[in-house]
Amino acid sequence: MKLNRRRFLGTATLATAALSAPAVLGQTRPRVVVIGGGSGGGTVARYIAKDSNGAVDVTLIEPTRRYYTCYFSNLYLGGFWDYDALGHGYGTIARTGVNVIHDWAVGVDRDVKTVALASGDSVSYDRLVVAPGIDFVEGSVPGWNVSQQSLMPHAYKSGTQVQLLKHQIETMREGGLFVMVAPPNPYRCPPGPGERVSMVAHMLTQSNPTAKILIVDPKENYSKQALFEEGWERHYPGMVTRIGPDMGGDDFEVRPESMEVVIDGEVEQADVCNVIPAQKAGRIAELAGLTNDSGWAPVMPADMRSRVDENVFVLGDASAQGDMPKSGFSANSQAKVVANVIRGELTGSRIFPARYSNTCWSLIATDDGVKVGANYEPTDEKIASVSSFISQTGEDADLRRQTYEESIGWYNGIVADIFG
């Protein structure tokens, strides 16, 4: 529901209503508001503040005080990474000059250019960046809704769900069954479910070697499929089974109370069930009227500008842009393009042609890393892949170890770029 202007102003105090009209207060600096302090929003806020040297007033709205990356959360499941090492605070972003507000954005009035906060306050903008990540499509997994996430965790958003999932796997009965309900396209981190299966298999091989893993997948095929299948056969023989749509993997229902998964009419008793539902843009993008029937927010390929409002940019997972996968790397890459464009429009600095890139690394077993990536350029229609690469099956152990080490370098680099 989009807040109408009357109701929106009605929720603001006199002081904040005045703040939403910067001209009245003699506000001279142009104002940028960023909704969402994740990989995309954190980057764009920091880069605009840093590069404009205080010429632009940047406000970041993010409810949590600590952002836990989804990237490397699978490695935490596998025992390769500490949970604490996934968490990053907003101190450095604030010290760069960004006004960080820990609150939810609950509405956007694009006519008067204001964002309403859950506290009842509002902030006004000249340019708005919407980067809220994903939400789940209700009803996409029959029998599951978000109130059952403690019984059948998704562990697919930043936060404590992944700790719960790890605890459930660690305490699973001997010889138990771990089921993953994989999502349909498009979803964040295309190789994420395959990497998660690898890391769960790694953990079970050590602590519960007679346990089994069952993947229920509505997709014909999935990212890095040949690499994962080769790795599972080599490292975890006989542990992982996948039921694709040809075997009824697109016809399922879950029963969280009894821990049952019904696949093509047959009931499987799960001990742990990881439900990763179908996805759409974070809800605030829809409330702001930026999404279409696909559930994602269409943007211009050259600069991630919303196709429905020239003062609004949508970046990261929430955007519908073309060929780039929904990843932290992509969101960070898009954010730098957006920061350059917004700063140019507001301060007159030079705007460079957009170039985007992405690499997604996955760990299959100890020192067995693989990657897929591409460079992208904007066309009239979409952000298009112009060159791509992928690890090959049969690569030697040295190369796989180097690829894994590269991924650690990438993790340390991106979190330093955003939060460090």
Ligand X SMILES: Cc1cc2nc3c(=O)[nH]c(=O)nc-3n(C[C@H](O)[C@H](O)[C@H](O)COP(=O)(O)OP(=O)(O)OC[C@H]3O[C@@H](n4cnc5c(N)ncnc54)[C@H](O)[C@@H]3O)c2cc1C
Residues that bind ligand X (CB under 6 A): 35-41, 61-64, 67, 70-71, 73-74, 104-105, 131-133, 156, 158, 188-189, 192, 196, 282, 284, 316-318, 326-329, 331, 360-361
d(CA 362, CA 82): 17
The one-letter amino acid code at 39 reads S
Contact 61, 123 (CB under 8 A): yes
**Comparison of 215 and 255: residue with beta carbon closer to ligand X:** 215
Cis omega (within 30 of 0) on the bond before 186? yes
User: Which CB atom, from 255 or from 328, has the smaller least distance to ligand X?
Assistant: 328
Considering beta carbons, is residue 104 or 247 the nearer one to ligand X?
A: 104
Comparing CB distances to ligand X, the nearer of 62 and 126 is 62
Query: What is the number of the residue whose Cβ is closest to ligand X?
Result: 38
Q: Could you say which DSSP state residue 115 is in?
A: E
Shorter beta-carbon distance to ligand X: residue 39 or 148: 39
Report the distance separating Cα 308 and Cα 303, nearest Å: 14
What count of residues does the chain have?
420
**To which H or E segment does residue 136 belong?**
strand 134-136
CB closer to ligand X out of 255 and 282: 282
Q: How far is the CB of 360 from ligand X (least distance, A)?
A: 5
Nearest distance from residue 417's CB to ligand X, in Å?
A: 12
Shortest distance (Å) from residue 170 CB to ligand X: 18
Judged by beta carbon, residue 74 or residue 148, the one nearer ligand X is 74
Q: Is the Cβ–Cβ distance between 376 and 324 less than 8 Å?
A: yes
Q: Are 142 and 250 in contact (CB under 8 A)?
A: no
H helix count then E strand count, the chain: 11, 24
Least Cβ distance, residue 178 to ligand X (angstroms): 15
Find the shortest distance in angstroms from Cβ 172 to ligand X: 19
Residue 416: half-sphere exposure toward Cβ, Cα within 13 Å: 6
Least distance in angstroms from the C-beta of 269 to ligand X? 25
**67 membership: H or E segment, kind and range:** strand 66-68
Q: Least distance (Å) from ligand X to the CB of residue 171?
A: 21
Residue number, 236 or 411, with CB nearest to ligand X: 411
Distance of CA 40 to the CA centre of its chain: 9
Cβ 264 to ligand X, closest distance in Å?
27
- CA dist 313 and 319 (Å) reads 9
SS (H, E, C) 360-388: EEEEEECCEEEEEEEEEEECCCCEEEEEE
